[in-house]
Every structure is written in C-alpha cells, then in structure tokens.
C-alpha cells in the first residue's frame, strides 16, 4: 500500500490490543504514526517497536486532544488518517446502572470518537483527502445482555459514522466504522475473569460462552481488525463510506 507512505496516521488507544496492532501495520506500510493514550508506559513500548510518536492524551477531553494533535502535526505533518480506537466496556444489569455509568460509556466510546474526528477534520479538508475510522463493535449492530450502556454508545458511533459520511461525501474524506465481535485482547481476559467470578464457570466454559454467538466459534484476532483499518485507509476504498464493517465470523 504505497499510497500510505509518508501519510500521518493518528491512532487513539494505541498502547495495547487493537490500537497497538493498527500502529504496527500502518508503520509497516510506511505511514508516519502517532499513537495517543492515557498510559505512558504502554505507549512507549509500542513506540519502541514501531517508531510511532507516543503522546499522552485523554480523548474525552477536547483540550487534551487538541494539544496532542498540535504536537503531532509539528513532527509528522497534517493528519491524513485518524483511527478512533480508544474505548471501554462495563458490564452491569440495566436495573443497577446509574446515569454516571451511562455517561462514562458515552464519554470514552462516543465523545472520544467525536473529539478525535473533529480535531482531525481541518487537515483533511485542506488536503481534500482523509480517512476517518472508528473501531466500534458488533454491539453497535445488535444488543447484548448486561452491557446496555456500551451497546448504546456503540450504536451512537454507527449513527455518527453514517451521518458524517453524508456531510463529507463530496470532499474526498471517507468515514467508516469497524465492528468486531469479541477480540482476543487483555480486555477480553478481564471479561472472562468477571464471568468466572460471577457464575462459577471455568475459564474454558466462560470463553466458550462468549464464542457461542460467533458461527466460527472463535475469537476475532487483532491483526484481522488492523488489516481492515489498513484496507479502508487505502485509495482502492475511496467509494466505501458510511459503512459499519462487521468482523464477527458471520454473527451479524
């Protein structure tokens, strides 16, 4: 994908899991990569592996995002591709949820996407080219029990994707979301441990319960999600916009 050589790619939540793999694949394609996140040590580790620029940033805070991108532009130039990957999931029955629980899910999963996309828009508009991507979830395409706040947030990301893609359809900027099923990451392991603690299942039983909704009966791998992001950032996908690409083994 030579068209990405020298282009500035910003990835939020770039210190671990999917974000780290996205940074690796874009760096391998020759892009100038900036990774942002709230934890300095993981960012430094991925930067050491990929040559990416690591910057501390809280995507829920617009001033923090603007400050990080200002520094990123000084070093890597205008933003061409932004991947809003930072996110969080919390599990709780709806009857026990509070307004603060819902606000927390919306802040990182929706406002975080909004902030990064809007802060990157000027650069893309100036160059009449850009790729806005969000790592959403199958939870943006269907409901799941006990994560109604997370599902609501991811559905909002899909709505934002579809609406913004129409606003930008004639500008050379595409807007898409990637919707993986359960991805094999440290966050997934925490979910498995939570199920074990709540139900008394074994780790294997808990893992199988999460795999059950995937017709392939396996977890999604980080490299599969990163490869989709790399593809959507290319020239050959210029007509693909406003989409929610499911990577779920046929679940949705």
User: Of residues 186 and 233, which shows the higher confidence score?
Assistant: 233
pLDDT over 70 at 3, yes or no: yes
Q: What is the pLDDT of residue 129?
A: 98
Find where tokens 């595409």 sit.
Answer: 174
What is the pLDDT of the chain when averaged over all its residues? 95
The band of 185, judged by pLDDT with boundaries at 50, 70 and 90, is confident
Mean pLDDT of 119-134: 98
Q: Which residue segments constitute the domains of the chain, with CATH numbers given?
A: 2-183+221-247 (3.40.50.720), 185-219 (no CATH)
Residue 222's DSSP bridge partners are: none
Torsion of CA 195, 200, 201, 203, to 10 degrees: 70
Mean pLDDT of 188-208: 85
SS3 240: coil
pLDDT tens digits, 70-93: 999 999 999 999 999 999 988 888
Q: What is the pLDDT of residue 1?
A: 62
Q: Which two tokens stand for residue 65?
A: 């995002």
Q: What is the pLDDT of residue 187?
A: 77
For strand 53-56 and strand 79-84, is the pairing parallel, antiparallel, or unpaired?
A: unpaired
Mean pLDDT of 221-240: 97
Q: What is the pLDDT of residue 2?
A: 80
pLDDT over 80 at 198, yes or no: no
Q: Which residues contact 189 (CB under 8 A, 6 or more apart)?
A: none
Max CA separation in the chain (angstroms): 56
Q: Which two tokens stand for residue 94?
A: 């709806």
Mean pLDDT of 201-211: 89
Exposure string over 219-228, b if 16+ CB within 10 A, otherwise e? bbbbebbbeb
Closest by alpha carbon to 88, among 197, 184, 13, 176?
A: 13
Q: Which residues contact 188 (CB under 8 A, 6 or more apart)?
A: 182, 210, 219
Count the neighbouring beta carbons within 10 Å of the beta carbon of residue 10: 33
pLDDT over 80 at 175, yes or no: yes
Catalytic residue selected from 117, 150, 182, 219: 150
Least confident of 121-125, 162-166, 168-172, 182-186: 182-186
Please state the pTM of the whole predicted model: 0.95
Phi, psi for 154 (deg, rounded to 5): -70, -35
Least confident of 44-58, 115-129, 175-189, 213-227: 175-189
Q: What is the pLDDT of residue 99?
A: 98
Exposure string over 58-91, b if 16+ CB within 10 A, otherwise e? bbbeeebbeebbebbbeebebbbbbbbbbbebeb
Give yes or no: 144 in active site: no
**In the chain, what percentage of residues exceed pLDDT 90?**
84
Q: What is the pLDDT of residue 41?
A: 95
Least confident of 44-48, 110-114, 143-147: 143-147
SS3 34: strand
């Amino acid at each position: 994908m030579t068209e990405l050589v020298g282009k500035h790619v910003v990835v939020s939540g770039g210190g671990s899991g999917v974000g780290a793999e996205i940074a690796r694949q874009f760096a391998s394609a020759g892009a100038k990569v900036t990774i942002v996140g709230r934890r300095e040590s993981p960012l430094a580790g991925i930067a050491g592996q990929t040559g990416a620029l690591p910057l501390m940033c809280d995507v829920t805070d617009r001033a923090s995002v603007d400050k990080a991108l200002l520094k990123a532009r000084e070093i890597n130039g205008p933003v061409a591709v932004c991947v809003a990957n930072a996110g969080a999931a919390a599990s709780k029955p709806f009857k026990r949820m509070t307004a603060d629980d819902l606000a927390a899910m919306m802040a990182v999963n929706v406002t975080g996407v909004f902030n990064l996309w809007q802060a990157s828009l000027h650069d893309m508009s100036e160059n009449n080219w850009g790729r806005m991507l969000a790592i959403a979830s199958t939870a943006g395409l269907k409901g799941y029990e006990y994560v109604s706040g997370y599902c609501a947030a991811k559905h909002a990301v899909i709505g934002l994707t579809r609406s913004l893609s129409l606003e930008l359809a004639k500008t050379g900027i595409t807007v898409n979301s990637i919707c993986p099923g359960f991805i094999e990451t440290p966050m997934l392991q925490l979910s498995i441990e939570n199920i074990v603690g709540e139900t008394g299942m074994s780790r294997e039983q808990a893992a199988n319960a999460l795999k059950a909704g995937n017709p392939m009966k396996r977890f999604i791998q980080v490299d599969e999600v990163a490869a989709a992001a790399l593809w959507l950032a290319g020239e050959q996908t210029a007509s693909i916009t406003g989409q929610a690409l499911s990577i779920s083994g046929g679940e949705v």
